[in-house]
Structure 1
Amino acid sequence: MPLRRQVLLLAAAFTLSAPAAFAATDAALKAAIASPTRPAADVARDGARHPYESLIFWGLKPKQTVIEVSPGGGYWTAILAPYAKATGGTYVAGVADLANPKLSEGARKGRADFEARFADEAKYGKPQFANFGPVSGPLGAPGSADIVLTARNVHNWTVQPGVADKVFADFFAVLKPGGVLAVEEHRADPRSEKAAGADGYLNTATVIAIAEKAGFKLDAQSEINANPKDTKDHPFGVWTLPPVKRTAPGGQPADPNFDRSKYDAIGESDRMTLRFRKPA
């Protein structure tokens, strides 16, 4: 076959395969988001968290290995695990480090409860679980993941010396060349003089610097999760806002006289949505 015809056929195949791949992603992702297995409280937050738009921005595709680090209450797990099941992919949750002898009993129980919640193979397939923490080992085999996702967690690592550098290095190591680091984080006023992460907010430049130090390149930024109503000057930091709705300093009893109306009207925080890439 003449070389020119081979090139034209390859180009045509690519042109046809790209829309087909997106259609597969689109249908499976919409089905996972619409699933009746998702908790009603999670579904109620979709207007603030924009799961479809965020995951499309981060480049989610069928058959990928996605590692979510510190999944919290499982908002993303309840979408990504069924999506992985439906598309031949793998979902891995980086959760409490059971190999750490200093891990609290509460954290151990939290991990056990999390694993039990997502143990139903008919709903969630076979999620995997990896040890994650300040002194944990690798998240997986080097170069084994297509996407590492972490949502609203980076501020927790910046308040502990050296931890942010360690965990971003872990992310870099486990991703394939060309793989994506997906970050959602509460976005600080760039003029803020508060200690990084102390109130739950971080400057975008801070997050980018941490990622670039680990070897990542910023691929794109999105305003999907922006909230211009967030003034970022709340009495109990970002936790004053929904969904936490704190009414007293951390560790103290809730204040029944605290007026929440102003903060509930703001809604969830203003957040950066970033896509980093590991150089190929």
Structure 2
Amino acid sequence: MRRLLLAVSSLLGLIAAPIAAATGDSAPDTEVCEGCEALLELAAANDLRKDDRARDKYRNPVETLSFMRVTPSMKVGEYAPGGGWYSRMLALYLGQQGHLTGLYFNPEVVPFDGSTLADQAAAFPKKVTEWTGIPESSVSGMTLGAIPDEEKGTYDRVLVMRMMHNVMRWNIADSEIKAMRDLLKPGGMLGIVQHRAKPDAPYSYADGGHGYLREADIIKFMEVNGFELVAKSEINANPKDSANWDEGVWTLPPTYALKEQDKAQYAAIGESDRMTLLFRKRD
């Protein structure tokens, strides 16, 4: 950890000016953060991620966060942080200058008992500190049903990683995305990684219930909800995934819904085909 901090400190001096330019309220599409990818590589290589690293070849955290233009001094919200795979990566990257917030579901709209969500949000900083050694002061947590007024309009990025299918099938996407939009600065950006259905997949399959959504549907949905598409990437694409499994995306690793049945076949395919999209908050 100490070697990482020393390397980070030296690199931060080199990239201070580009960071300042990149964190303005309405950063240009051509913004470049010199040195940021090196910092992402350092975070990804940290020994504290040794148990997470096996999935890097499918989740591509360095390339994904670089594509989403996340710089080390940003205030970043991670939606539905779950087991902390991306939380650990983000905390190690943002911990010296930036701030990470775990954004939990609004307990008033979820189709399950949300009574523990506020407690989970409150516990998020301590969990991240235990995982990474990053000070608790660099981390916070909140539910989208209890956003303090002073937090609105202060976030550079909000990241929604493989979660749009759930909010779509639960019919809470509109209210959750609206809350995330309220958090973003003018010109702030929202990044999405999502299991991708084929363009001609029937709605009965691509409604979120199987884990897959059509890319065009997500783009349209975000546009209707006050965002404009900035860029899309094939970083997390997997052409081996036919995206038509009876058991949905959970047929593939790491879930293996069919357990040992044809497991070698699904392991050879790998994790799902995923869209990677970046949107800007529209005025």
What is the TM-score normalised by the length of structure 1? 0.80
* Correspondence for 1:128: 140
1:108 offset after TM fit, Å? 7.1
Matched, 1:272 2:275: yes
**Quick one: which amino acid aligns to residue 180 of structure 1?**
M
* Correspondence for 1:60: 70
**Quick one: which amino acid aligns to residue 264 of structure 2?**
S
Out of 223, 238, 249, the residue aligned to residue 238 of structure 1 is 249
1:116 offset after TM fit, Å? 4.5
Query: What are the within-5 Å matches in structure 2 for residues 1-280 of structure 1?
Result: 17-18=17-18, 22-40=33-51, 42-86=52-96, 88-95=97-104, 103=113, 116-120=126-130, 123-126=133-136, 127-132=139-144, 136-138=145-147, 141-161=151-171, 163-193=172-202, 194-195=204-205, 196-247=207-258, 258-279=261-282
Deviations 1:129-172 (A, max 9, x none): 1114xxx23377221100000100000011123x1111111111
- Which of the two has higher C-alpha Rg? 1
* Correspondence for 1:252: none
User: 2:275 is paired with a residue of what secondary structure?
Assistant: strand
Q: 1:241 to 1:110 in 2, by over 3 A?
A: farther
**Quick one: which amino acid aligns to residue 140 of structure 2?**
Q
CA contact (8 A) 1:139 1:174 kept: no
1:90 offset after TM fit, Å? 0.4
1:198 offset after TM fit, Å? 1.2
Q: 1:114 to 1:239 in 2, by over 3 A?
A: farther
1:214 offset after TM fit, Å? 1.3
User: 2:95 is paired with a residue of what secondary structure?
Assistant: helix
Alignment gaps of 5+ in structure 1: 1-15, 248-254
Q: 1:108 to 1:221 in 2, by over 3 A?
A: same
**Worse-matched range after superposition: 139-148 or 226-235:** 139-148
CA contact (8 A) 1:164 1:210 kept: no
Give, in whole Å, the separation in 1 of the partners of 2:128 and 2:105. Answer: 15
Give, in whole Å, the separation in 2 of the partners of 1:124 and 1:239. Answer: 33
Give, in whole Å, the separation in 2 of the partners of 1:29 and 1:118. Answer: 17
Deviations 1:89-135 (A, max 9, x none): 00001125578897357767866775543233972232111114xxx
**Quick one: which amino acid aligns to residue 28 of structure 1?**
L
* Correspondence for 1:10: none
CA RMSD of aligned residues (A): 2.8
**Quick one: which amino acid aligns to residue 48 of structure 1?**
Y
CA contact (8 A) 1:92 1:128 kept: yes
What is the TM-score normalised by the length of structure 2? 0.80
